[in-house]
A and B are shown apart, each in its own frame.
Chain A
Amino acid sequence: NAGVMQNPRHLVRRRGQEARLRCSPMKGHSHVYWYRQLPEEGLKFMVYLQKENIIDESGMPKERFSAEFPKEGPSILRIQQVVRGDSAAYFCASSPVGQGSGELFFGEGSRLTVL
């Protein structure tokens, strides 16, 4: 499967727990983007990463959220001490190197439910 792979597809957490969402970009893509989608809202940019570097995290909440894209392995979006407002679909997208044209390839998303 050459597409963007996200897991888990569904995740249930209780308030105060941690959520870890993983994303493997398309083969040959080294740029990863995370977006959050809330009901009735569009996709909101969170963070853009390259291998071992956070390039743009202007959309990330200042607290409890972090992202990484290590040299080996998938990109991880980590949410600490989750609250009900974190319930959303989190999408990962990738693009080829230096494209800058707006063409993103999305995964199927990880749906987080906070009880």
Chain B
Amino acid sequence: QKEVEQDPGPLSVPEGAIVSLNCTYSNSAFQYFMWYRQYSRKGPELLMYTYSSGNKEDGRFTAQVDKSSKYISLFIRDSQPSDSATYLCAMSEKTSYDKVIFGPGTSLSVIP
């Protein structure tokens, strides 16, 4: 079993749709949960960050973490063509440095 699993897609939605992206993981020691966005031919950029379980909202984006199920989600409301990118879930243990483990990424296209 891979440490972090994520449906690779591709996922194609019309503009304005609600998008749900998900990951599962196996390592119960993970404490920090992130979503990174990566545009084509670019480096990943941090989109959302959550410590332990719970929800976090930032504008059109909501991140959810359910540690009991080892399941994390990212919701995008009112999706825009500019949201078209690959979304990487990521997580790390609580250590003194940032050894971040990434999922394989989900490719999202938002069609105008």
Report which A residues bind B (CB closer than 8 A). Answer: 4, 31, 33, 35, 40-45, 48, 55-56, 91, 93, 95, 98-109
Contact = CB atoms under 8 A, between A and B. Distances in A.
Given A55-B97, A100-B98, A108-B43, 6 more contacts: A45-B99, A98-B96, A100-B97, A102-B98, A102-B100, A104-B44
Contacts of B32: 101-102
A45 B99 CA distance: 7
Interface residues of B, number: 30
B51 interface: yes
Contact of B43 (A31, A91, A99): A91
A40 B9 CA distance: 10
B104 A102 contact: no
Contact of A95 (B33, B41, B94, B98): B98
Nearest to B103: A42
Contact of A104 (B8, B42, B98, B103): B98
Given A100-B95, A100-B97, A101-B32, A106 B90 contact: no
Closest 9 CB pairs of A and B: A106-B43, A102-B32, A42-B102, A42-B104, A102-B92, A43-B102, A95-B98, A108-B43, A106-B44
A93 B44 CA distance: 9
A33 B97 CA distance: 10
Interface in B64-112: 88, 90-92, 94-105
16 contacts: A31-B98, A33-B100, A41-B104, A42-B4, A45-B99, A45-B100, A45-B101, A91-B44, A100-B95, A102-B32, A102-B34, A102-B91, A102-B98, A103-B34, A107-B43, A108-B41
A73 to B, nearest CB: 21
Contacts of B45: 106
B61 interface: no
A88 B41 CA distance: 12
Given A42-B105, A91-B43, A108-B43, A103 B98 contact: yes
Contacts of B46: 103-105
Most buried by A among B44, B92, B102, B105: B44
